[in-house]
Amino acid sequence: MVIVSASTLQVSIEICATLAFALSGLIAGARKKLDPFGVFVVTGVAAFGGGTLRDVLLDRRPFFWVEQAHWLWLMLIMCLLAMLFMRSRHILLTERAILIPDALGLGLYTALGTQIALGLNMPVIVCALMGVMTAVFGGVLRDIFCNEIPKAFNDHQPYAVIAFSGSLVVVALNALNLPPWLCVSISASLISIFRIAAIYLNWRLPSWNIEA
């Protein structure tokens, strides 16, 4: 039987989350018709922004993308190949194309960020906020770089609310002394499922009814 270490599992989940948000950044940059450098920058901030903010606030060094620098090369190659493929196939990217990879990244990064903070013995509320910031900040930067109001701020479909609720699930599962990999896997799955459900079932949060 092959036993996967906790550190290997953490890196694997971080890679999956990074690639999911990288794909959302790539699609966003392509929709804005940015040049290859612009697409790479948007892809990078989407993929690494949240995790970098988490590492800064938790004083973790080196940053995860510095320690795994080969992923920067992979992302550059992925951007170039994806742009060539979409250009040759004349693929039309709608705004909805961003939502699925974004939902997957939301689940993975929320659960992982919360678990990392728990491992550092942070208070529960801090752990929850670390999970939310890890998951949301990259998407916020992606939208700002694409000259849009961040979806996390003006999308009345649940986004950060789902991330915060999911981070509390991570805390609760850890309190039951479940293995960290199981806590992260269950929570990430629930967050992604609820976010996708919110998109397709058009769940809405209350909005301000104030006339300008």
> CA–CA separation, 191 vs 159, rounded Å?
9
The reported pLDDT for the residue numbered 80 is 78
- Amino acid of residue 49: G
The reported pLDDT for the residue numbered 151 is 81
DSSP string, 168-212: HHHHHHHHTT--HHHHHHHHHHHHHHHHHHHHHTT----------
The reported pLDDT for the residue numbered 135 is 92
The reported pLDDT for the residue numbered 1 is 38
- Residues of the chain with pLDDT below 50 are 1-4
Task: Give the tens place of pLDDT for each residue, 29-39.
Answer: 888 888 888 88
Domain ranges of the chain: 6-200
The reported pLDDT for the residue numbered 7 is 63
- Amino acid of residue 51: G
DSSP string, the chain: -----HHHHHHHHHHHHHHHHHHHHHHHHHHTT--HHHHHHHHHHHHHHHHHHHHHHTT-SS-HHHHTTHHHHHHHHHHHHHHHHHHHHTPPPPGGGGHHHHHHHHHHHHHHHHHHHHHTT--HHHHHHHHHHHHHHHHHHHHHHTTS--HHHH--SSSHHHHHHHHHHHHHHHHTT--HHHHHHHHHHHHHHHHHHHHHTT----------
The reported pLDDT for the residue numbered 2 is 41
Cβ proximity of 116 and 54 under 8 Å: yes
The number of angstroms, rounded, from the C-alpha of 91 to the middle of its chain's C-alpha atoms is 24
